Structure 1
Amino acid sequence: MSNAELTWFKSSYSGSEGDSCVEVALTQNDSTTIHVRDSKDTTLPSFQVTSTAWAAFVAHI
């Protein structure tokens, strides 16, 4: 799935200073995959993690 096909939103965990911006997207009909990208440079590749891995990451930070 390409980045253009996803609806990206800024993570509530991104810094308010604008220096640590992460965007996430969910795949429709698949709540088990979380797409993550750098919102400062959206031309960079995104990556995908499982919802379990994302929850563990968020809990850690």
Structure 2
Amino acid sequence: MSEREQEVFLRLARGETPKQAAIDMGISDKTVYLHRASLRAKLGVNNDLALHKLALERGLLG
């Protein structure tokens, strides 16, 4: 997972929308959607709730 994907992963896991993550990161929302699709494929999950659960399991959320 790239550094940018990690950042997108954490932002989405914290409940940010892709649009808000894009604004905060200074990238297009389409780029966030592409990173999200890549993350889902790499991590074997189908939705943002599963990304959140995975982040919790890995101790990435406080």
TM-score under structure 2 length normalisation: 0.24
Please state which structure has a larger fraction of its residues in helix.
2
TM-score under structure 1 length normalisation: 0.24
